[in-house]
A and B are shown apart, each in its own frame.
Chain A
Amino acid sequence: MIAKWVKMLLLYVRFMKANLIALLEYRLDMMIMIFSSALIHLLGLVFLWVIYQRVPDINGWGLWEVLVVYAMVYVTEGISSFLFEGSWMMNTLVNKGLLDNFLIRPVSPILQILSSRIGVNGIGNILIGTAILIQAVSHISMHWTIPKIIMAVVLLVSAIIIRSSIKLASNSSVFWTQNPGSSFPFMIHSIGEFAKYPVSIYNTVIQGIVTVVVPFAFVSFYPAAYLFDKEVFRYWGLLTPVVAIYCAIGAVTIFNYGLKRYESAGN
């Protein structure tokens, strides 16, 4: 069992290495991608900065605390798109019948899909997000204990799993829609924008959507609420690892269920 997982991991690393080498052929392109995606996300920072020039807090959340929520969205999005950008390829793979190639190989199709592409624009997000996180943590007076540090790492890993699972699950919709221009996964993706700010500011409908339907709030808000001991939300933060497991199992189940419906488009 363990040997099988190690083998899969090694394969994954190998595929990703190949992607990276291919990408390095277009170095200027790569730099533009990293720079521009970082730039566009900086706008949200300007928004928060301008607002906090005028008000001390929003719903009891100070600037640096909100920035942690914001940066969590960044970092997890960055890592998830760097490692698992392949999910976005599903549309092409299914509609062009390219998935056939993956199915005849003796390796998990999910593994092959996830490693079919590398999201280099993620690097910009990781760099900026990490810089904000470090700045924020140094500005917030917090009592860091060993359990809390361990929990912070667990929360970060869970957040990445949740985001990546949502990506895989929403892209699996291609098995049902069979429409080359399907926008469903993008729509799900854009709902993630809500998670950039403390979820407590929204009405119940939006809170419900980002907590239960597509649990983006567990990527950023609930973990931050746990770390900063915010109101009742901090107990929700403890649920993050559970939500991560639930999302991962759910995404794989949806994928496998959809795969059974897959009929090759021929190639």
Chain B
Amino acid sequence: MNAFRKYIVLGKVSLQNAMAYRSTFLISLLAGFVLVMSQFYIWKAIYSKHNEIGGYSWDEMKAYLLIMFITNSLLSWYSEMAISQKILDGSVAMDLLKPLDFQKARLAETMGASIFESILGAALASIIIIIFEGIASPPDLLTWLLFLVSLLASALIKFGIIYIAGLFCFWTSNPYGVAWVRAAITNLLSGAIVPLTLFPRWLESVTAYLPFRGVVFVPASIFLNRINGQAAVQEIAIQLLWALFLWLAGRMIWSRAVRQITIYGG
């Protein structure tokens, strides 16, 4: 229990930090907001002439955009930079001295900060709901529940991805480059651009074998009740397996990276 409390404290400190540096969050949230608004108007222009695109009605597409915004707001730029910065400015040396597991500590910090992100994100999400005027929503409580679990799993997968990407800063000194490549790959393959089912068949089937679809597409599909019942449970299980896999992969890369670390002073 004592061991667990250390991480809770870390999470709390990170939450306070996040609130102190709120402008950083506002930038990335606003950028996400502008993105989702521009996509909204593109789709609106399209749906004014079509009843459905790729099986999505207008109300469903609006709901998809909303979930896309929410999943993208969680674990934003701040958490990502916090991990790479630790490695680049050498403060990772101090972390090595502490009786804490580096990965667990970063998870605690990321989750702490994401509480603040969720609150800001929820505020913006409600503005979006008002502007969108009517979105599809889950039919029953069970779907809501499954969606929330799936959303949590999505955050865990995303943590696994940004953690591994952050570790690449042991090999390169360019955190922005790493973060941009990471964002480009995740956004393309997670369904953060369009629902994956709109992709050409070959690209869609590629995404089925990758963890990224668990970040946006799976929670959104559960929200829209397109994946339901046993299939939904199964998808969530796959999400959690991916999260576990990424966690272990992160551990392996860390133990490799830390062996070749050189820190100049400190």
Contact = CB atoms under 8 A, between A and B. Distances in A.
Given A29-B177, A194-B38, A58 B46 contact: yes
Contact of A53 (B39, B188, B200): B200
Contact of B177 (A35, A181, A187): A35
B26 interface: yes
Interface of A: 26, 28-29, 32-33, 35-37, 39-40, 42-43, 46-47, 50-51, 53-55, 58-59, 181-183, 186-187, 190-191, 193-194, 196-197, 201-203, 206
B41 A39 contact: no
Q: Which 9 A-B pairs have the closest CB atoms?
A: A32-B177, A36-B180, A183-B23, A36-B177, A190-B31, A201-B45, A39-B184, A201-B41, A186-B27
Contact of A206 (B27, B39, B41, B188): B41
Interface string B43-77: 01110011001100000000000000000000000
Contacts of A59: 45
Given A28-B172, A194-B34, A37 B180 contact: yes
28 contacts: A26-B173, A28-B172, A29-B172, A29-B174, A33-B176, A35-B177, A35-B181, A36-B184, A37-B180, A39-B180, A46-B193, A50-B198, A50-B199, A51-B42, A51-B46, A51-B194, A55-B50, A182-B23, A187-B27, A190-B27, A191-B34, A193-B34, A193-B35, A193-B38, A197-B42, A201-B41, A201-B42, A201-B45
A74 to B, nearest CB: 15
A53 B35 CA distance: 21
A206 B37 contact: yes
B240 to A, nearest CB: 27
B41 A197 contact: yes
B187 interface: yes
A54 B53 contact: yes
Contacts of B53: 54-55
Given A29-B177, A35-B181, A206-B37, 15 more contacts: A32-B177, A39-B181, A40-B184, A43-B187, A51-B42, A53-B198, A54-B198, A55-B49, A55-B50, A186-B30, A190-B30, A190-B31, A190-B34, A191-B34, A203-B41
Interface residues of B, number: 38
Contact of A50 (B49, B173, B193): B193
A35 B172 CA distance: 14
A197 B37 CA distance: 12
Contacts of A193: 31, 34-35, 38
Contacts of B54: 54
A47 B193 contact: yes
B102 interface: no
Nearest to A183: B23
Contact of B45 (A36, A39, A50, A58): A58
